[in-house]
Structure 1
Amino acid sequence: MALAQIKIDATSERLAALEMPQGGWSGAARADALARLQAMGLPSRRDEYWKYTRPDTLVQAKAPEAAVLETDEKPVFSGMDRLKIVFIDGVFDAAASDDFALEGVSIERLADTSADIHWAQGLYGVLETAGQDPVERALAALNTAYATDGVLIHVTGKPSKPISLIYRHVSTSSDAILHHVVKVDAGAEVTVLENGPAAARFNKCMEVDIADGAKFHHVRTQGRDHERRAATHMFARLGTESVFKSFTLTANGVMTRNECVIELTGDDAHATVAGAALGDGDFHHDDTIFITHDAVNCESRQVFKKVLRNGATGVFQGKILVKPGAQKTDGYQISQSLLLDEDSQFLAKPELEIYADDVACSHGSTSGAIDEEALFYLRSRGVPKGPATDLLTLSFLAEAVEEIEDEALAEEITERLAAWLSRRRS
């Protein structure tokens, strides 16, 4: 059977198991996304940008079973003053969430906005649609069409505390599809946190529009859920002198695919995407990044570190596209893996595509084992092998964690990394 027909059949089977929300201001965007999805079909292993990652469990009609992990571990960010918004298996939990009122920002639920006109109408599905060129992202189109809920965040000032999106998983066969829209007005600044096991299968999309002089900070943890299967998508558009910074910590999970598509459209903008992944055993983690420079004197950074053992697999696909006229571009990309045994693997595909002549772009990708000389040095000074290996591993991950601007958040992420490593030794 031809590949095109296989994709059409798989798409039809998947859509038959879903029900699209009807009416309201998002209706046109959903219909457009559905048409695009049906034309492109859901991804298969034979698609260029999926050749390192098998998408089967993300596209099949029924969500795979995933056990609910019971743990006494304190949830990440729990010690911080933050505005909490909680979803359980993709369903909003009002009782566990805080009041949405916060100075400098307005927050609404996607499911509650059924009027024909809304500010998010100009963004919902818009950045996702733009992000389909030149690479098709069918799971993102599926999200725009079928998302059952999410939050709409309009930042007009500088809120006094972060907005924390908390995901909880209580059903072994849940299938969650959430879509968030964030609009940051000129000169405004916001921090968005995400954490928690979301569902047995999770498809999430976040569209972020950052106006001139605005700043968006994003820190996400994906952990505490050993059997998670997730596909996340972040689409961002940056105005003049704006800032976008995103960091993701991933630990555990059977299959995770994080995509980030960024377009720098205003001069002197800055974008950073960073991540640290810790994989053990049946673990497949894929970071796929596409950054487009379409303005003058912009800077972008991609910093990804993965620690893999017991047959775990890490994937990095990162591209920097510099369009004609985007002079004085500074694009930096580094992807590295630390392989703690001979069974694990790291698959990397770094790319540069440059159509301007006054640029400074670089990329590098390496894989290696623990530095035996450094390990010997620590052990010769009385540090046992396990803690010494952990210290060297944390040092390896530090470059990615340093991309977090808030020191308190960076410290908490480092503590989580150290705790994960310690548990693997016990």
Structure 2
Amino acid sequence: MLIVFFVLMFINMPIAFAIGIAAMTYFIRTSDLTNMLAIQQFVTGTQSFPLLAVPFFVLAGHILNVSGITSRLIKFSNLLTGHLAGGLAHVSIVLSTLLGGISGSATADAAMQSRILTKDMVQRGYSKGFSIGVIGVSSLITSTIPPSIGLILYGFIGGVSIGDLFMAGIVPGILMCFTLMLTVSIVAKKRGYDSDIVVERPTAKELLISFKDCIWALLFPVILLVGIRFGFFSATEGGAVAVVYALLVGTFIYRELNWTNFKKAIYDSVQDNSMIMLIIAAASIFSYVIAYENLPRTASELITGITAEPTLLLLIVLFIVFLAGLFMEATANTLLLTPIFLPIVEQAGVDPVHFGILMIVLITLGGMTPPLGVTMFAVCSITRTSVLEFSKGAAPFLLAVLILIIILVFFPQLVLFVPDYLNGS
């Protein structure tokens, strides 16, 4: 099964079909299991109440994006950081942090920003590699800021509280924002970006006006977390609340959501959800085979045979996850690797919420790196830039993120502080 899977990946077959066909070969080759069982797993794999959060949040994000949210957030981000060295690169990072609470998708965020900001950054004197590198890597922040689609899928597969994962992602997301901004400042000063451009600092009045203009977008993740924390709705129900909220804001407050924009949001949502759900359905067959063959226990014995020390074991698992992220799409990786590695780290005493944040960040990071990064290919194709040029520009930011991940490994309370505090532990 695994050989067929990697062969299909090598010939560039769509990931959902590669997973599904490879898993079916197992049922065809073995006499112990009927082929109908594979079809049943394909169908039942998507029939889960927590999984309903995915299509709802995807739809809410698309509605907010066509409702004038993005232009307002760009203006606010520009006022906050436009006067700094490498100002437009800082704008991209802050925008990713703010949009993380709306889109939930790193690739969607990077694709949108590369269309809007790249041209202005190049005209301002930044190298093209640097420009799309910071746009691509900064979109990683959306993997931790709620409502992250990756965290929803991890919580669904691993049986981990999605509400706790949402709360745990806040501090790492903010730390990633500051880490990337620090990296931009160092690189920009070293290369002399914006050295001959003087941008006046915004006044408090300008900041306040811009903040009020996009307050409804900024309230979105706050309302979501407060509602989940105090039991007004579950994470799944929060997705439905998000759709209603997006419709109200777009129609009655910003008044930019018309029938044409709404149809576009529905069309884009159907495309995104179809891709995600097809991967989930195919991965359900794959996951059944993994469980049937007792692969988690085998992998656990293999890794724990190397070391039983929790931190070292966690680093080994994360390294394997990172390697997998280099070759596979993030959604598929989450669905395939969670049932294998989560039991191992839990047995070693690692908190599943802590591991979930680190795993989703590393898996998503694989989308920004060669050889098969989906986000990387998206920004390169939109800006017509070579993978080599992107890789050179993104290198300092990738290094900065890896350093932050190592810090989060050794200081788990940076991840667990918010959920522990809000849960009263």
TM-score by length of 2: 0.22
* Greater strand proportion: 1
Higher relative contact order (CA 8 A, sep 6+): 2
